């Protein structure tokens, strides 16, 4: 698929901006029509989408459905169920001094948004922000990732048959095309990816004073501390880590485990991996692949780095098949090569610590993560971890699942991102909540107008 010619990008942006000006999404009914059309796209082209995701990332069909297609359908259905409520003006109490009068908050779309998506979930992470933007009444330019070319091509070729091209435009290509898009003026920019590109996006948006939502990554920790069921904790961490071959922004990046539990936990991880993917995960129909050779090389370089004692499980890799086995490292030091950057692959470092307070101290000494996972049956320790750490989101005694709750905002904090979406939070991020105060022309008491004699001053001071 050829990239969108750069000379055409201003025309495409103007096309969807005109769509907003013309009021194509002014009413709830028009927004719902486009959302239902998007849902039909996902249903009608499910097989093609599954094939594209397999081509790009080796995703198993059920994983492609649950984490991408079905996830997005669920987001659409939740939005359709609640859109009337979200769009309704909210009455606000008026102070006694301003009566008679009324006040309300009117949700209003920002205008035209740009959504720049990553490659790891190349369908969900382009369409879920689109659902939020359209629900709020915005027209949108989508930039799918060129690193997932099959999915990008399908979006470019098929989406226009369902969604009005004056409302949604798809621009394909790489850095040059993204740079050209960022030179255009948008009313909101929504970017999902890494922090380095996030800084580029934010600098470009600043030229137009455009607000941004940045969904970034980071090293998301899992804390395993007594009392806990080590077998269950290991199975749930292994699932969260190795889905999509570890290429998930909220995957557990490393584990901090009570020293007394380390041996049992590492053994349980190995058991969980074999139970899920067999003794040869390369032959498993349920295990994905690394997106390309460059990322394969980056990950194997981490394995070749120093700072860990042993590969407790896995370690095998095959560049020609973009395969890296689910891998567990033990005896990992804080200064290890694998601890210096977000892994974004199927390598799980395990670090032993002296209890939950040591784990909390370790987490707080580093940049704020996108997610944090805590495994313990001690409710006091659970709350201590919640209270004393900062992360974009937290799941207790499982992994990833906070994303599946429509009414929980999803987003980062600090270096892991700014802004949040999903459910109403997504509607809100693409909305200006416009305050409106209404007064009658009569009565019009002279009290508030100059000249301000002593009596007026006394009354006004007391009224405030």
How far apart are the C-alpha atoms of 197 and 214, rounded to whole Å?
10
Across the range 67-96, mean pLDDT stands at 97
Residue 86's SS3 state is helix
Which one is catalytic: 63, 75, 249, 342? 249
Q: What is the CATH number of domain 6-216+414-436?
A: 3.40.605.10
Q: What is the pLDDT of residue 127?
A: 98
What residues have CB less than 8 Å from 436, skipping those under 6 apart?
Answer: 89, 103, 104, 105, 106
End-to-end alpha-carbon separation of the chain, Å? 65
Question: What number of other Cβ atoms are within 10 A of residue 206's Cβ?
Answer: 10
Q: What is the pLDDT of residue 448?
A: 86
How do the domains of the chain map onto residue ranges? 6-216+414-436, 221-410
Mean pLDDT computed over every residue of the chain: 97
Nearest to 445 by CA among 182, 100, 59, 83: 100
Judge if 6-216+414-436 and 221-410 fold alike in CATH terms: no
Across the range 333-343, mean pLDDT stands at 97
Q: What is the pLDDT of residue 97?
A: 82
Q: Classify domain 221-410 at the CATH superfamily level.
A: Aldehyde Dehydrogenase; Chain A, domain 2 (3.40.309.10)
How far apart are the C-alpha atoms of 431 and 106, rounded to whole Å?
10
Our answer to whether residue 262 is catalytic in this structure is no
pLDDT band at residue 96 using 50, 70 and 90 as cut-offs: confident
Which one is catalytic: 215, 262, 293, 309? 215
Residue percentage of the chain with pLDDT more than 70: 100
Across the range 308-333, mean pLDDT stands at 97
Our answer to whether residue 75 is catalytic in this structure is no
How far apart are the C-alpha atoms of 400 and 239, rounded to whole Å?
9
Across the range 142-153, mean pLDDT stands at 98
Q: What is the pLDDT of residue 386?
A: 98
Across the range 443-453, mean pLDDT stands at 91
Beta bridge partners of 418: 214
- Asked whether the beta carbons of 177 and 168 are under 8 A apart, the reply is no
CA 381 vs. chain centroid, Å, equals 27
pLDDT band at residue 464 using 50, 70 and 90 as cut-offs: confident
Across the range 4-18, mean pLDDT stands at 97
């Amino acid at each position: 698929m050829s990239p969108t010619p750069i000379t055409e990008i201003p025309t495409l942006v103007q096309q969807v901006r005109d769509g907003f000006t013309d009021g194509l999404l002014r009413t709830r009914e028009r927004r719902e029509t486009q959302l239902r059309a998007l849902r039909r796209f996902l249903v009608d082209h499910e097989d093609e989408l599954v094939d594209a995701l397999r081509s790009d990332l080796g995703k198993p069909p059920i994983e492609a459905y649950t984490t991408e297609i079905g996830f997005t359908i669920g987001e659409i259905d939740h939005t359709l169920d609640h859109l009337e409520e979200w769009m309704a003006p909210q009455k606000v109490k008026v102070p006694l001094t301003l009566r008679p009068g009324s006040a309300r908050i009117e949700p209003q779309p920002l205008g035209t948004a740009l959504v720049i998506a990553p490659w790891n979930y190349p369908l969900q992470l382009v369409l879920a922000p689109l659902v939020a933007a359209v629900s709020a009444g915005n027209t949108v330019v989508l930039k799918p990732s060129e690193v997932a070319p099959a999915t990008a091509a399908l979006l470019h070729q098929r989406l226009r048959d369902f969604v009005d091209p004056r409302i949604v435009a798809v621009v394909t290509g790489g850095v040059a095309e993204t740079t050209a898009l960022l030179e255009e003026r948008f009313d909101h920019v929504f970017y999902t990816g890494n922090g380095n590109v996030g800084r580029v996006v934010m600098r470009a948006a600043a030229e137009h004073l455009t607000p941004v939502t940045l969904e970034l990554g980071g090293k998301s920790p899992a804390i395993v501390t007594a009392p806990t069921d080590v077998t269950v904790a290991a199975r749930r961490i292994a699932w969260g880590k190795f889905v999509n071959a570890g290429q998930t922004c909220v995957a557990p990046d490393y584990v901090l485990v009570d020293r007394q539990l380390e041996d049992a936990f590492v053994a349980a991880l190995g058991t969980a991996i074999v139970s899920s993917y067999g003794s040869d995960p390369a032959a498993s129909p349920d295990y994905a692949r690394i997106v390309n050779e460059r990322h394969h090389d980056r990950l194997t370089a981490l394995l070749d780095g120093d700072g860990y004692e042993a590969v407790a499980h896995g370690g095998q890799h095959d560049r020609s098949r973009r395969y890296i086995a689910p891998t567990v490292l033990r005896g990992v030091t804080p200064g290890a090569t694998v601890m210096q950057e977000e892994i974004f692959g199927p390598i799980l470092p395990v670090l032993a610590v002296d209890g939950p307070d040591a784990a909390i101290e370790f987490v707080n000494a580093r940049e704020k993560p996108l997610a944090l996972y805590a495994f313990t049956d001690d409710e006091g320790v659970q709350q201590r971890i919640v209270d004393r750490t900062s992360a974009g989101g937290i799941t207790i005694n499982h992994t990833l699942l906070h994303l599946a709750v429509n009414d929980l905002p999803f987003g980062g904090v600090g270096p892991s991102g700014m802004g949040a979406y999903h459910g109403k939070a997504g509607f809100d991020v693409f909305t200006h909540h416009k305050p409106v105060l209404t007064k009658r022309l009569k009565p019009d008491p002279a009290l508030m107008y100059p000249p301000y004699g002593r009596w007026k001053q006394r009354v006004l001071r007391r009224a405030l």
